[in-house]
Amino acid sequence: MITNTKLSKIVPHVCLAILTLTCILPLLLLALASFTDEQTLLLNGYSFFPAKFSMAAYQYIFKAGNAILRAYSITIFITIIGTICNMAMTVLLAYPLARPGLKGRNLIAFIVFFTMLFNGGLVPTYIMYSQMFHIRDTIFALLIPSFLMSPFNVILVRNYFKTNIPDAIIEAAKLDGASEINTLVRVVLPMSTPIIGTIGLMSGLAYWNDWTNGLYYLVKRTDLYTIQNVLTNMLNNAQFLKTASQLQGVNVEMGTLPSVGIRMAIAVVALLPVVIVYPFIQKSFVKGIVVGGVKG
Amino acid sequence: MEKTIQPKSQKPKKVNRFTKDLPLYALMIPGLLYLLLNNYLPMFGLSFAFKKINYSVGIFKSPWVGFDNFKYLFQTKDAFIIFRNTLLYNLAFIVLGTVLAIVVAILLSQVRAKSLRVYQTSILLPFLLSSAVISYLAFAFLSVDNGFINNSILEPLGMKDISWYSSPQYWPVILTVIYLWKSFGYSSILYYATLVGIDDSYYEAAVIDGASTWQQIKHITLPCLKTTIITLVVIHLGRMFYSDFGLFYQVPMNNGLLYNTTNTIDTYVYRGLLQLNDIGRSSAAGFMQSILGFILVMGANIITRKVDKDSALF
């Protein structure tokens, strides 16, 4: 710690308090907007001190909003299934790569690592998935592309196994007659809960927040939209109609779109699980960033 | 299983070893298959940039057209704009992001554990938000009719409303601010992790010698952070040709009026592929992104290795 005078002990607190507010206040503004009466919102704009509160937006979502509840359950579904598959595949690939003496393990580790240096990008990926594997407009489009396994996490987990699980323990389990999969599940995994938790968190967050797979691969089946897709779609449509009416001088009917308050309420609902869960897992999340952040 | 008899094998030990390890290889199959599907097949698909893709005859029967797609790409002024925007934004992000993260890390290292946790928790929050939610936050501030900036800041000051979503000149600042807002918590925690490892006796000795706060930072803190700074900057440099699709597509709400300052290689490739049906130019831009990105990451690593071996990525 830098040693200094009394005055400069206050300075860090003041600066950090300001930064903390810049991070939290925008979210508060969003939340307040969702509780603001629609007329007040249109008249006075977004405000930290709304003149009139209203629960109308939430009543709308939970009563009439079948599409929204549906999108919400799809998001929960792909987050759970995707994260479980992601963790399983990551661990299954990382474990053999951490075993000393496995023939060809360096080559395979390189195959994993190389994908972090070089990739085909969106065009070939999209063409492969949509033309060869016909993934468009299926639930697999939300689960498989990009997020099913991260090569970075594989290397992270492998390094953890290598440094934290002594070979002697694995050998002992083998002597007792445990199969490879048994050794992995009964011996190695219980000793690796921090790293398993970290990759699970990262993967869960990635699935929950993703909207790109829906954007790329869901063309007709908008009923498969995740909550993030519903959000982006509503905002872009509203903006598109507005720009069109400005450019062409036509008054486009905005009544078909949900009101501003309702849109903000959906954003709050999409955000809520992350904000609720996060404080509880904050410690392991920070640890995960530090472990994974600098070097793989 | 291990006792399988292999009378004719010349190297019985080796084969034995392989059979013994067979279950281990089997475990890796799902992961490796996924890499093949998700990562390696698209690499070969980069060759599509030299084809005139026609979905009706199929990808493989589409004719090869040499460098035509690249010619078409560079005939437009879009090519210049997307490369300029991608590189300049990244440059601004690297410089400002690094400075801000280091400053915040130093501030964090000055407070006690209890308040540290509160600060850390809240500055990491933006990092967890989806692009969709961030675009809603941006809209709450920038909306022309009832946005917070127009309504609660500019109007009370007696200034005229600004039509943010049709004024491209403001977007370099807006997008940089949003990027910094989203990422500073994450990167400051990386620097902070290095900072807490610095031995306190350095600072104590410096104070006895009469060093000021700034002198302590300059002569102790920054030199200790050197390796971390180089590593993180090199990682970002290697991604100079890439941009956060959500930030550049969703936050400006795919608004055509703003393309001049918001279009990057990633948004251009997406629009060409899925909105404008201009696969030729799109695949040419994507090809250049992949190849230049690869050259950059290799080059950056080679140079770092020569300068400072500890900071190299691999």
Cα angle A32, A35, A39 (rounded to 5 degrees) comes to 105
In chain A, residues with a C-beta closer than 8 Å to the C-beta of B143 are 45-46
Could you tell me which residues come within 8 angstroms of residue A57 by beta carbon, excluding any fewer than 6 positions away? A34, A35, A38, A259, A261, A262, A264, A265
**pLDDT attached to residue A247:** 61
Q: How far is CA A15 from CA B10, B103, B109, B216, in A?
A: 72, 10, 13, 19
Instruction: Give the percent of chain A with pLDDT over 70.
Output: 88
- Say what the alpha-carbon torsion angle B179, B181, B183, B187 is, to the nearest 10 degrees: 130
As for how many domains chain B has, the answer is 1
Q: For residue B50, what is the nearest residue in chain A, using CA coordinates? A: A124
DSSP sequence for chain B: -TT---TT-SSHHHHHHHHHHHHHHHHHHHHHHHHIIIIIHHHHGGGGGGB---TTT-TTTSPB-TTHHHHHHHHSSHHHHHHHHHHHHHHHHHHHHHHHHHHHHHHHHTS-HHHHHHHHHHHHGGGGS-HHHHHHHHHHHH-TTT-HIIIIIITTTTPPP--GGG-GGGHHHHHHHHHHHHHHHHHHHHHHHHHTTS-HHHHHHHHHTT--HHHHIIIIIHHHHHHHHHHHHHHHHTTTT---HIIIIITTTT-GGGHHHH--HHHHHHIIIIIS--HHHHHHHHHHHHHHHHHHHHHHHHHHHHH-GGG---
Residues of B in Cβ contact (< 8 Å) with A125: 38, 42, 45
Q: From first to last of its 314 residues, what are the pLDDT tens digits of chain B?
A: 444 454 554 545 555 667 778 888 999 999 999 999 999 999 998 988 998 888 888 888 888 888 888 988 899 888 999 999 999 999 999 999 999 999 999 999 888 888 888 898 899 999 999 999 999 999 999 988 888 898 888 888 888 888 898 899 999 999 999 999 999 999 999 999 888 888 888 888 888 888 888 888 889 999 988 888 988 888 888 899 999 999 999 999 888 889 999 999 999 999 999 988 888 889 999 999 999 999 998 998 888 888 877 777 77
CA distance B33 to chain A (A): 10
CB contact (8 A) between residue B190 and residue A228: no
Chain B CB contacts of A236 below 8 Å: 250, 253-254
How confident is residue A291, by pLDDT bands cut at 50, 70 and 90?
confident
pLDDT, mean of residues A206-234: 92
Residue A57 identity: A
| Residue numbers of the domain that contains B240 | 68-311
In the numeric block, which tokens belong to residue B100? 């801000």
What was the pLDDT predicted at A137?
Answer: 92
We report the CATH number of the domain holding residue B166 as 1.10.3720.10
* A226 φψ region: left (φ > 0), alpha (ψ -120 to 50), beta (else): beta
For position A92, what pLDDT does the model report? Answer: 95
pLDDT band at A204 (very low <50, low <70, confident <90, very high): very high
Q: Do residues B125 and A23 touch, judged by C-beta distance below 8 A?
A: yes
> Mind listing the pLDDT tens digit for each residue in A15-52?
999 999 999 999 999 999 888 888 888 887 888 888 88
Chain A residues close to B185, C-beta within 8 Å:
23
Residue among A42, A128, A211 minimizing CB distance to B146: A42
Does a structural domain hold residue B108?
yes
* A146-175 tens-digit pLDDT: 999 999 999 999 988 988 888 888 889 888
Task: Tell me the ipTM for this assembly.
Answer: 0.89
| A–B CB contacts, 8 A cutoff, strictly below | 308
Arithmetic mean of pLDDT over chain A? 85
The answer to whether A106 faces chain B, any CB pair under 8 Å, is no
Mutate to test the interface with B, among A8, A16, A117 (most CBs of B within 10 A): A16
In chain A, residues under CATH classification 1.10.3720.10 are: 65-293
A257 has a pLDDT exceeding 70: no
Q: Is residue B284 part of a domain?
A: yes
Which fold would CATH assign to domain A65-293?
A: MetI-like fold (1.10.3720)
Structural domain includes residue B228 = yes
Residue B28 falls inside a structural domain = no
Span A131-146, pLDDT tens digits: 889 999 999 999 999 9
pLDDT at A251 over 60: no
> Does B31 sit within 8 Å of A293, measured CB to CB?
no
Q: Across residues A226-254, what is the average pLDDT?
A: 72
What pLDDT is attached to residue A2? 65
Q: Which residues pair with B64 in a beta bridge?
A: B51
Closest CA to A216 of B91, B273, B165, B281: B273
- State residue B277's pLDDT score: 84
Task: Count CB neighbours of B137 within 10 A.
Answer: 22
